[in-house]
């Protein structure tokens, strides 16, 4: 009794080779179908992010200062532009009290 493949018989070798080629082809077709299906499926990721709370607190800041009357016109111009840029949330009050008042303090 012979166990295994009969490699002496040409028909047996041909059938074995055809069987191996057939199995390889079937496995190749199945794996390519699986890969193609994986690639063609759209991948969707759902992320639930809570909407940010929109609390707007408007605060006003008041700055009071004083100094030389010599720079008062320029200070007024700067203050006007500054308050426009900050939307009026920061208010600046410059008092031209004269440089002598500053020296006295």
Please give the model's pTM, rounded to 2 decimal places: 0.41
Residue spans of the domains in the chain: they are 1-42, 61-104
The 10s digit of each residue's pLDDT in 49-59 is 777 776 766 67
Give the model's confidence band at 5: pLDDT under 50 very low, under 70 low, under 90 confident, else very high.
low
Class of domain 61-104: alpha beta
Name every residue whose Cβ is closer than 8 Å to that of residue 67 and which is 6 or more positions away in sequence. 94, 95, 96, 97, 99, 102
């Amino acid at each position: 009794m012979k166990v295994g493949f009969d490699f002496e018989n040409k028909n047996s070798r041909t059938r074995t080779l055809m069987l191996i080629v057939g199995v390889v082809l079937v496995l190749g077709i199945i794996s390519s179908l699986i890969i193609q299906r994986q690639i063609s499926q759209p991948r969707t990721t759902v992320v639930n992010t809570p909407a940010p709370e929109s609390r707007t607190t408007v605060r006003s800041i008041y700055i009071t200062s004083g100094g030389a009357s010599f720079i008062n016109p320029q200070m007024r111009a700067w203050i006007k532009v500054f308050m426009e840029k900050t939307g009026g949330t920061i208010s600046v009050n410059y008092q031209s009290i004269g440089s002598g008042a500053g020296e006295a303090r």
